[in-house]
Amino acid sequence: MFHNAPKLFWWGVSMTCEVVVANRMGVALAADSAATFSGRDKDGTRKETYSSGACKIHQLSSVAHVGVMFFGASELSGVSWEVLVKAFSAFLGRTTMRTLEDYAAALGRFVEGNHSLYPPEHRLSLFRAMAVRSLRSILTDVQCQWAASSGARGTTAIFASISETSRGRALPRGCSEIDVRTIFDTHREWLSSDGVKAAANTEDLRLVSRELSVGKLCEAAVRDIFVNFRAVYGGRSSGVVLAGFGDDDAFPSVLELEFFGLVFDKLVMASRGGAKTQVDHRNSACIEAFAQTDAVEFFVGGVTNQIKETVGRAYRKHIRRFAEANIDGAAGMSDMDEVLGRSAADFGREWSEELLRCNLEPLQAVVEGMSLQQLAELAEALVTLESLKERATWRTETVGGPVDVAIITRTEGLIWVRRKHYFDPTLNHRLFHRQFEEQMT
């Protein structure tokens, strides 16, 4: 029997490896086909199932020289990314934009304003589920801190401290204090009654809720949805990668974003990985990997980020032990922490520079001169390498299946090098004829 209530946290999660390889000629995209679906059996045991038919590379529109890939949560507030991208492509039509940032902003506005994919009743259900989770989180935090202090700190004082911390955190881009206040004022009645009742699902939480100002509690919960969105969304987010050319771009670029979900007409999203990667006269080539990246990191840099962090921690630990064992306490350095910190920074910098000199710089020089076909071959090989590593070391199927490969150039746009279909192309000539006619109109 199917349940019609909308889900806030979707268990269908695309675990994957996606790679972008670019030089001044163009950019190659490669992605595997694996999807991991996590849930629980009737007895509560966590269960994972795998499939290998996910399509993770799409053209953003029929005329835009931009490709899009997604990883992480396979849905955004209950709508699959494949459906979203196809709807956005139809919405764009033959419209093109100056930069990848413009396409990203347009995608965000499209999601926020699309009341066909996200009808008002669905948005309301999503908000109420998030509000209950946020209220429960605050009440639990207050109760735990009160218990830890053995009652020495009052619940009101603890809540005031939590609220002050929340007010000190910045709202995500595109969201304002007016938005928070408007949502709170509009839904104050439901929040104060049914919302608090649903959140306080234990006797301890009910006792805490009675001691706090209901209005202030509900207002804090609404703000918490925006500023503490990673926790409210249960750590589930969708990574979205845009790659290709805006109208103003002579060379390709790559932009990574993180989407969490809708709060009514506001899309909670954030940038990932810092600024976009731009191929230009100073940066002649790039290799970027997304989602599961250990094997690609090792191939590109000679070491994974996890190993670098482990070595850094070990160095700081053992250099401190050495210093404490060999420096006389009375005559020891009063600024030991500062000296050890500088030593660790120097060690990390020297090691990183050597890795760059021996691995990344030679590789970048080769990628700079690669043909478009070679870019595609390298991108596909790196995804295959990540899949092999996962299967050989962890015996998992989170990366695997057929690898889709596409190339994007300034003149030809997106060209498929390798693409899987869920149907036999030789039996569906009408589909390709229809697509051709649509592009020519």
Place of tokens 């935090």: 141
User: What pLDDT, on a 0 to 100 scale, did the predictor assign at position 345?
Assistant: 86
**DSSP for 139-152?**
HHHHHHHHHHTTT-
CB 229 within 8 A of CB 46: no
Spell out the alpha helix ranges (H) of 149-193: 155-167, 177-186, 188-190
Whether 139 contacts 159, CB under 8 Å: no
* Token representation of residue 67: 């490709």
| pLDDT at residue number 319 | 85
Distance CA(341)–CA(343), nearest Å, equals 5
Output the pLDDT for position 13.
45
pLDDT of residue 391: 85
Q: What is the pLDDT along the chain (441 residues), one digit of tens a residue?
A: 333 444 444 444 446 899 999 999 999 999 998 877 666 666 666 666 667 778 899 999 889 999 999 998 889 999 999 999 999 999 999 999 999 999 999 999 999 999 999 999 999 999 999 999 999 999 999 999 999 998 888 999 999 999 999 999 999 888 899 999 999 999 999 999 999 999 999 999 999 999 999 999 999 999 999 998 888 887 788 999 999 999 999 999 999 999 999 999 999 988 765 568 999 999 999 999 999 888 998 898 888 888 888 888 898 888 888 887 777 654 456 677 788 888 888 888 888 888 888 888 899 999 999 999 999 999 999 999 999 988 888 777 788 889 999 999 999 999 999 998 888 888 888 887 787 777 666
**Residues 100, 242: Cα–Cα separation, whole Å:** 7
Q: How many CA atoms lie within 13 A of 335 on its CB side?
A: 5
Nearest of 10, 226, 213, 239 to residue 127 by alpha carbon: 226
pLDDT for the residue 198: 96
Rounded Cα gap, residues 313 and 9, in angstroms: 35
Instruction: Please give the backbone phi and psi of residue 178, each rounded to the nearest 5 degrees, phi first.
Output: -65, -40
> What pLDDT does 11 receive?
40
Map residue 343 onto helix, strand or coil.
helix
Q: List Cβ<8 Å contacts ≥24 apart for 302-308.
A: 302/355, 302/358, 302/359, 302/360, 303/355, 308/348, 308/351, 308/352
**Helix, strand, coil percent values for the chain (each to nearest 5):** 50, 20, 30
Helix ranges (DSSP H) in 212-335: 214-227, 229-232, 294-301, 305-326
The amino acid that residue 289 corresponds to is A
